Amino acid sequence: MALRKNVRWLLVAVVVAMVAGLPGPAGADHNDEDREAEFTVMTRNLYFGADLEPVVTATNPDEFQQALLGAFFQALGDVPLGGVDPGSNPWARMAAVAAEIEESGADLVGLQEAAVWTVNGVEVANFVDLIIAELADRGLQYEAVVSQTGFQFAAEIDLPSPPFPPNTALSAGLAISDVILARTDLGSGLKLSNPQSGNYENFFVFDTPFGALPFLRQWVSIDVKVPEVGKKFRFVSTHLEAVSPLVRAQQATELVTSPTSPLNTGRRQVVLVGDFNAEVGVTPFGIIDAADIFLGSGFADAWLEEGEGPGFTFGHDASLADPTDVLDDSRIDYVMWRGDGLEAEEVAVVDTLLDPGPLPRPLWPSDHGGVVAEFEIDDD
C-alpha cells in the first residue's frame, strides 16, 4: 500500500510539472497581471457661518461695527456669551459633516473654510477639531495631516445695550484654513508623506473704514502611497477667490504653472479637489475661469465623466434655515484628476438635512454640498 501511494503521488507531481511547463494563453502570466485598488476622496466647504458682505461693503465706522456684530451673532449666536441661541450652530453642522464622512467612507477629505472662532482669546469653535472628535465618537480615527491658514481677522465688537451693560465690548477672532483630513485607523491602508501647503501670491483686498483687509487664499497637498498596487498619487485641495474672477484665474494659473506648485510634480497621478468658485464653460467678463484652466492643463472632471444631472454644489442661503432650500445655483466644487492608471469610478453630491431639534439651529451643514468620488488605481 505504501509503495502504490508513493507511486501515485509521484505521477501527480510529474503531471503537474508537465502542465506548468506548457505555454499558456497570451497575457495569462499571473505574475504580470494588473493589480487594482480603490480609494475614496471627498471635498467639503464647511462655511464659516456668516455673510461678510455687509462687513466689507460698510462705508463708515458705525456701519462696520453693526456689520461685525451681525456677522458674529449669525455665526455663533449668543452661546459664547452664555446664551442658548447657537447662530449657525457650527457644533451641530460639523457633527453632520462627520456623519457624511462616515457614510462616504472617504479616505481623504479636503476641507475648505475650516474656521477657528475665538472670543476674548479663547477658542469657542474649532471646526476641524469638532469633526475629528465626532468621528472618534463614531469609532473612526481621522487626523488633520496638513493645514494652511489664509484669511485672518480680529476686531473689538461693541455689544448692544441693553441687554448688555453699556460700553461692553468683546474681542472676536476668525481664522480660515484649508485642511486635509486622512483616515489613519485600520480602515485605510494608505501611506502618507510629504505634506505641503502655501498661500497664493495673488489675492483680493477689501477696503474697509479701518483700512485694507486682505483675503488670502491657499492650497494644501499630501503624497499618498497605495500599498496594494505600489503606486503613489498626490492629493491637492484648494479654495479659490470668490469675489474677483481675475484674481481667481490668477490663482488657478499659479497652481498650474508655478514651479513651487504641488501640481508640478514628477508623479503622473494627481487628484485635485476644492471649492474653485468657478463653473465649467462660464467666462465672467471674458476671463477663462479656474475650472476651465484646470481642464485645459490636462485634468479630468469626475462629475463630467461619471456624474448625472447638473451636479449643483451651491445654493443654500446664508441663514441655512430653509428646509425647502435646494442646491440649485451652480456647480463650483470639484473632484478632478490627472494621470494614467487613475480613474474616477463613481461620484456623488452629498447634502444632509439636519434634525431641527428643540433649539434654534440651521438645517444644512453648509451653504455648499460636498462631492465624493471613488477612484480606481492600477499598477501600470
In a domain, 31, yes or no: no
In a domain, 68, yes or no: yes
Q: Which of 90-94, 141-145, 227-231 has the lowest mean pLDDT?
A: 227-231
Q: According to the model, what pLDDT value does residue 36 have?
A: 87
Instruction: Give the CA dihedral 288, 56, 366, 216, nearest 10 degrees.
Output: 60
Reported as a pLDDT band with limits 50, 70 and 90, residue 34 is low
Is pLDDT above 70 for 188?
no
Q: According to the model, what pLDDT value does residue 321 have?
A: 87
Q: According to the model, what pLDDT value does residue 238 have?
A: 98
Of residues 213 and 355, more confidently modeled: 213
In a domain, 20, yes or no: no
CATH number of the domain that 206 lies in?
A: 3.60.10.10
Q: Which of 94-98, 227-231, 263-267, 271-275 has the lowest mean pLDDT?
A: 263-267
| 288-346 per-position pLDDT tens digit | 999 999 999 999 999 999 999 999 999 999 989 888 889 999 999 999 999 999 999 99
Helices (H), the chain: 2-21, 53-56, 61-76, 90-104, 127-137, 245-257, 290-296, 302-306
pTM over 0.85: yes
In a domain, 3, yes or no: no
In a domain, 21, yes or no: no
Reported as a pLDDT band with limits 50, 70 and 90, residue 33 is low
Q: Residue 94: what are its φ and ψ, rounded to 5°?
A: -70, -30
Length of the chain: 380
Is pLDDT above 60 for 16?
no
Of residues 239 and 188, more confidently modeled: 239
Containing structural domain, residue 278: 36-378
Task: Give the helix/strand (H/E) hosting 334.
Answer: strand 333-338
Distance CA 236, CA 225 (A): 14
- Provide, rounded to the nearest whole percent, the portion of the chain with pLDDT above 70: 89
Q: According to the model, what pLDDT value does residue 39 have?
A: 95
End-to-end, the C-alpha distance of the chain in Å comes to 53
Q: Which residues contact 104 (CB under 8 A, 6 or more apart)?
A: 40, 42, 350, 372
Q: According to the model, what pLDDT value does residue 175 have?
A: 97
In a domain, 30, yes or no: no
How many separate domains does the chain show?
1
In a domain, 338, yes or no: yes
Reported as a pLDDT band with limits 50, 70 and 90, residue 35 is confident
Q: According to the model, what pLDDT value does residue 187 have?
A: 61
Is pLDDT above 80 for 156?
yes
| 263-280 per-position pLDDT tens digit | 997 767 999 999 999 999
What DSSP string describes 111-167? EEEEEEEEETTEEEEEHHHHHHHHHHHTT--EEEEEEEEEEEEEEEEEPPTTTSPTT
